[in-house]
Amino acid sequence: MNMRIGSIHVVVIMSLGLLSSCGEQGEGPIVPPPPAPAEYADKHMPADWWGDAQKLEEGRKLFVGETNPDVNCASCHGKDGKPVKAGATDFRNPERMKLYSDSVWFWRISEGVLNTKMKGWKSKLSEEDRWKLVLYERNFGLAGKTWNEEKKQWGDAGTK
């Protein structure tokens, strides 16, 4: 094989490898998560928290490890919701995140996610702190949205 053709093959193969590594890290196709188990299914964000700037800031501090050094969500999910570790959920993707009810999100933070590196945090965080994380994390992909339990979907804040 001539050297020029061999070089072209190498460049094409390397380019394909770079292209395939772009995009969401290990998230795969967008599919709904399993429903929250019974012990979490009826848990919901306290209604008056959705617009609470102080609770949101407390959630940010938890997320980046300022409040509790044992808990640093940003170490995997990135300070801006863009994963920095393979397999971590990209919180900036509204098409994916709108499939997570507030109770499912709370459950996953509390108990972790089977067959992933995401561990449960209920032993390190109070229930209130776990809700603060839901409040903060939804802002990456669902800013201005609140969970509407009647409609079972995310909706604009202030609408029923």
CATH number for the domain spanning 148: value is 1.10.760.10
List of residues 6+ apart from 2 with CB closer than 8 A: none
- Please state, in angstroms and rounded to a whole number, the distance separating the CA atoms of residues 121 and 112: 7
Inside any domain, residue 71: yes
pLDDT over 90, % of the chain = 75
Q: Which residue has the higher pLDDT, 124 or 11?
A: 124
- Please state, in angstroms and rounded to a whole number, the distance separating the CA atoms of residues 32 and 98: 9
List of residues 6+ apart from 130 with CB closer than 8 A: 106, 109, 110, 121, 122
Inside any domain, residue 129: yes
Inside any domain, residue 70: yes
Split at pLDDT 50, 70, 90, the class of 47 is confident
Inside any domain, residue 118: yes
Predicted local confidence at residue 9, as pLDDT: 41
Split at pLDDT 50, 70, 90, the class of 158 is low
Is the torsion defined by CA of 129, 134, 139, 144 positive or negative?
Answer: negative
Inside any domain, residue 51: yes
Inside any domain, residue 16: no
- Please state, in angstroms and rounded to a whole number, the distance separating the CA atoms of residues 25 and 35: 23
What is the distance, to the nearest Å, from the Cα of residue 78 to the centroid of all Cα atoms in its chain? 10
Q: Which residue has the higher pLDDT, 136 or 25?
A: 136
Inside any domain, residue 72: yes
Question: Based on the structure, what is the number of domains in the chain?
Answer: 1
The pTM is what? Answer: 0.81
Inside any domain, residue 20: no
Q: Which region among 17-26, 97-106, 144-153 has the lowest average model confidence (pLDDT)?
A: 17-26
Domain that holds residue 61: 34-156
- What's the pLDDT tens digit per position in 78-92? 999 999 999 999 999
Spatial contact of 27 and 89, defined as CB atoms under 8 Å apart? yes
